Amino acid sequence: MLTLTPLEIEALLLSLRIGIVSVIFSLPFALAVAWLLARRDFPGKSLIDGIVHLPLVLPPVAVGFTLLVLFGRNGVIGAFLYDWFGLTFAFNWKGAALASGVVAFPLMVRAMRLSLELVDRKLEAAARSLGANRLRSALTITIPLMSPGILTAAILGFARSVGEFGATITFVSNIPGQTRTLPIALYVLTQVPGSDAATWRLAILSVLIALAALIGSELIAKRLSARVRGTE
């Protein structure tokens, strides 16, 4: 019970890798979109807001199917990426990371937008009056003050990525070592008669990862917000 089987280790490491990579690549975009939605007014803003939130409300299978159409080897974007950069998302772990990132994206945008809206813009004005240009004011005032929100977004995105199932299996299928993540392995086991014990082990493993991520983020977020409020 205490040692994991090679199959379990493979699924676990794959899930962690996909979770981390998808967060690293989608976080900057999510921050940019959060900034746009919180700070800018432009025509079509509600449309962008709606599109960003689509993965939250669409059936994950629909998201996976859309990704397949767009990013498959013959898809509009997929073909372009393959021809120009030799990059393909079809049926490999990068595709799984893309699917996870897309599904986690709205959660990350929401968390960061909220924390950005709570940053006192008067502090930015003070920074500007002290000679800081927009970029310096963003890097030294805004981003540090919203760092608890960025952390929350990262953890939330990671947890959502690790748990991603529908979009992933639709987009990149179930390939051992490439796209067979924890939830997919778990699903496969539920389909095999007499594998209750193995199913339980994976289910418990998933719960542990999720709990560790959430508790860890709670602790760090607390310290971080005490730091930025200067009460520590």
Q: Which residues contact other proteins (rule: CB under 8 A)? A: 120, 122-123, 125-133, 140-141, 144-145, 227-232
CB of residue 31 to other proteins, shortest distance in Å? 18
| DSSP label of 142 | I
| DSSP label of 171 | H
CB of residue 89 to other proteins, shortest distance in Å? 39
Token reading at 193: 């008669």
CB of residue 229 to other proteins, shortest distance in Å? 5
Question: According to the 3-state scheme, what is the secondary structure of 44-92?
Answer: CHHHHHHHHHHHHHCCHHHHHHHHHHHHCCCCHHHHHHHHHHCCCCCCC
Token reading at 11: 């699924």
99/68 Cα distance (integer angstroms): 10
Q: What angle do CA 167, 92, 176 make, to 5 degrees?
A: 90
Question: Which residue's CB is nearer to other proteins, number 95 or number 148?
Answer: 148
CB of residue 222 to other proteins, shortest distance in Å? 15
Check: CB of residue 154 under 8 Å from CB of residue 147. Answer: no
Question: Which residue's CB is nearer to other proteins, number 53 or number 128?
Answer: 128
Helices (H), 72-175: 76-85, 93-118, 121-129, 134-137, 143-145, 147-163, 166-172
CB of residue 122 to other proteins, shortest distance in Å? 6
Question: Which residue's CB is nearer to other proteins, number 179 or number 225?
Answer: 225
Question: Which residue's CB is nearer to other proteins, number 65 or number 144?
Answer: 144
Question: Which residue's CB is nearer to other proteins, number 147 or number 174?
Answer: 147
CB of residue 121 to other proteins, shortest distance in Å? 10
Question: Which residue's CB is nearer to other proteins, number 161 or number 225?
Answer: 225
Sign of the CA dihedral running 184, 185, 190, 192: positive
